[in-house]
Structure 1
């Protein structure tokens, strides 16, 4: 199956304010490792950037990708304004043009943009692999970030009604078709 890596909202304005998202440095390192594996397999790598007023104003310092992300020429960039990386963006067109049948998803924030994009990808007919240790969020009043991540890693793969699979795998176990 032809896969693409989709990196969601790993931006300065979301990762640099204190406190950073949980496990942020390790998550970015795992994303870079996934991107390297994808490129070695000639799989598309797509960076999605959220934009809104204030700290994520388009083209602002906060909107920029996290400086530790390894972005290379040929990687795709998608802008979005909702938690859904497919809604009113060119993501589906890029993936279709590249002959992609499935996506590996990672990034920020687990319970918002990662969750919504996972469901939307499945609704668009893409098989989904959620990189279980390469998405993150901030602690919330009701649950800490580790609990939120564990919850989504357990519940999203239980959704079967889209007709395509959703799996959660550690980044080290994910392979891209060549």
Structure 2
């Protein structure tokens, strides 16, 4: 099965902020490990970058965080909504490589990671959500760790899409 790694919104203006997102150092290390392993295995790595009035293309905030280890041979997809497939080149990029399985990591768990995970499954992809490689900022009602755990459990329990969504730790991901 052809696999691609999707790194969602791992941008300076989202993950290199004050305050930092939850478990920022560990999440960044895991994202870096995933991209390094995917590169070594020659698996397509797709960086998805959110654009808005604060994340302006070309700005420092918009750029991929250094810890993610983006390479010029990677694919870069711009988006303006939490859905990485909506009005973007993501679907075409994955189809071009015959991808049937996506491994998902990045930022923000409850928005872009959640929406893209669901949409990938709805589009027929088998999805692996990297359980310890996505994050968000603490919210008044829940910490980033609680939000991450909730989404790991909820998304991996869904059966209605057909293709499975599994939540797997970085150490257990194989490309």
Task: Please tell me the TM-score bracket, short chain as reference.
Answer: over 0.9
Gaps of 5+ in 1: none
Secondary structure of 2:68's counterpart equals: coil
* Counterpart position of 1:62: 61
CA contact (8 A) 2:35 2:68 kept: no
For 1:82 and 1:164, how far apart are their aligned partners in 2?
23
Q: How does 1:1-178 map to 2 (within 5 A)?
A: 1-53=1-53, 55-176=54-175
- Runs of 4+ in structure 1 displaced over 6 angstroms? none
Query: Could you list the per-position Cα deviations for residues 96-135 of structure 1 after superposition, in whole angstroms to 9, with x for gaps in the alignment?
Result: 1011101000000000000000000001110000000000
State the shift of 1:73 in Å.
2.6
Deviation string 1:61-109 (CA, Å, 9 cap, x unpaired) is 1111112221123110000000001100000100110111010000000
Q: What is the Cα-based RMSD across aligned positions, in Å?
A: 0.9
More deviation, 12-21/109-118:
12-21
SS of equivalent residue, structure 1 residue 72: coil
Aligned residues: 175
- TM-score w.r.t. the length of structure 2 is 0.97
Q: Distance in 2 between matches of 1:68 and 1:127?
A: 27
